């Protein structure tokens, strides 16, 4: 079963606009963490933001914020005032619980292109 | 710069060969993870080590093996290579032992091409 779903294979946005990248997840574990990573064309994976399942407030990191809707099992990434350097692949990932495999499960990614 | 280093950055080899990928975690991190990124499979977890011991296995082939040394660096060994093993291999590290909220920081990856 797909645990992380990113339904937007590609998105095109004008520079300086805000953009929302969608992510839904599936888990029965009450304790989990949700992560967003950015992968530019150079290939490295850059950690952007984290949201814990017990966090009461949405996470924010600079221009990145996470719209966490627990009941809907969604964790959308919002990038405000987009810049040309934001063009990249974006991956949503989940890590479950305290026991067992501490692995990240990734979605298929969304390719974001910022147009000047 | 995440603080995680991986060598080599690129590797070109032939089918049937064996290669070793090396990873040094961030200072202070005890957990090391290996992931494979390919076009058809996406990003997949291979294996995790914590303080020298194997903690979890994912979709790792029997031809692949890994270890974490006392200085906490890790090596991923890929043998009897096939064309389908061509991929970007990431190492990630985290502090270790803090559960679901622990952030994994990724190295720059090793791009393997099997010809």
From the list A43, A100, A105, which residue is nearest B88 (CB)? A43
Determine, for residues A50 and B33 on separate chains, whether the beta-carbon distance falls below 8 Å.
no
Determine, for residues B108 and A108 on separate chains, whether the beta-carbon distance falls below 8 Å.
no
Whose tokens are 């906490």? That residue is B72
3-state helix, strand, coil in chain A (%, to 5): 5, 50, 45
Determine, for residues A46 and B106 on separate chains, whether the beta-carbon distance falls below 8 Å.
yes
The nearest alpha carbon in chain B to A29 belongs to B100
pLDDT of residue B3: 94
Q: Chain A contacts of B58, Cβ < 8 Å?
A: 101, 103
Work out the minimum CA distance from A99 to partner chain B, whole angstroms. 7
pLDDT of residue A16: 97
pLDDT of residue A98: 60
d(CA A101, CA B30): 15
Tokens representing residue A34 in the block:
């949700």
Contact between residue A115 and residue A102 where contact means Cβ atoms under 8 Å apart: no
pLDDT of residue A1: 57
pLDDT of residue A97: 59
- Per-residue burial over A81-107, b = 16 or more CB atoms within 10 Å of its CB, e = otherwise: ebeeebbbbbbbbbbbbeeebbbbbbb
Tokens representing residue A14 in the block:
């004008």
Residues near A116 by Cβ (< 8 Å), separated by ≥ 6?
A15, A84
d(CA A37, CA B29): 19
pLDDT of residue B100: 66
B103 contacts chain A (CB < 8 A): yes
pLDDT of residue A101: 59
pLDDT of residue A34: 95
Write out residues in chain A with pLDDT < 50, as ranges: none
Q: Chain B contacts of A37, Cβ < 8 Å?
A: 106
DSSP sequence for A16-35: T--EEE--EE----S-EEEE
Q: Chain A contacts of B10, Cβ < 8 Å?
A: none
Closest CA to B50 of A7, A52, A40, A101: A101
- Per-residue burial over B83-105, b = 16 or more CB atoms within 10 Å of its CB, e = otherwise: eebbbbbbbbbbebeeebbbbbb
From the list A95, A96, A106, which residue is nearest B43 (CB)? A106
Work out the minimum CA distance from B9 to partner chain A, whole angstroms. 11
pLDDT in tens, chain B (115 residues): 889 999 999 999 999 999 999 999 999 999 999 999 998 889 999 999 999 999 889 989 999 999 999 999 999 999 999 999 999 999 999 987 766 678 999 999 999 999 9
In A, what residues contact B, Cβ < 8 A?
29, 31-33, 35, 37, 43-47, 50, 52-53, 91, 93, 95-98, 100-106, 108-109
pLDDT of residue A79: 98
d(CA B58, CA B48): 8
pLDDT of residue A100: 54
From the list B58, B94, B100, which residue is nearest A96 (CB)? B100
Residues near B16 by Cβ (< 8 Å), separated by ≥ 6?
B80, B81
């Amino acid at each position: 079963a797909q645990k992380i779903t990113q339904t937007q294979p590609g998105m095109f946005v004008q520079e300086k606009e805000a953009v929302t990248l969608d992510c839904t997840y599936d888990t029965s574990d009450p304790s989990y963490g949700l992560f967003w990573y950015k992968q530019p064309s150079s290939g490295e994976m850059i950690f952007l933001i984290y949201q814990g399942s017990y966090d009461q407030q949405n996470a924010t990191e600079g221009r990145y914020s996470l719209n966490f809707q627990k009941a809907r099992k969604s964790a959308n990434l919002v990038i405000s005032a987009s810049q040309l350097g934001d063009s990249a692949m974006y991956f949503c990932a989940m890590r479950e619980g305290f026991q067992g495999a501490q692995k990240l499960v990734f979605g298929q990614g969304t390719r974001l292109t910022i147009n000047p | 710069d995440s603080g995680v280093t991986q060598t080599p950055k690129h590797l070109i080899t032939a089918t049937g060969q064996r290669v070793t990928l090396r990873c040094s975690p961030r200072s202070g991190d005890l957990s090391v993870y290996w992931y494979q990124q390919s076009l058809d499979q996406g990003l997949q977890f291979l294996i995790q080590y914590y303080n020298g011991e194997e903690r979890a296995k994912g979709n790792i082939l029997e031809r692949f093996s890994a270890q974490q040394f006392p200085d906490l660096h890790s090596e991923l060994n890929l043998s009897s290579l096939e064309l389908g093993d061509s991929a970007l291999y990431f190492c990630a590290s985290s502090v270790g032992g803090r559960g679901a909220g622990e952030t994994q920081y990724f190295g720059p990856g090793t791009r393997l091409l099997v010809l």
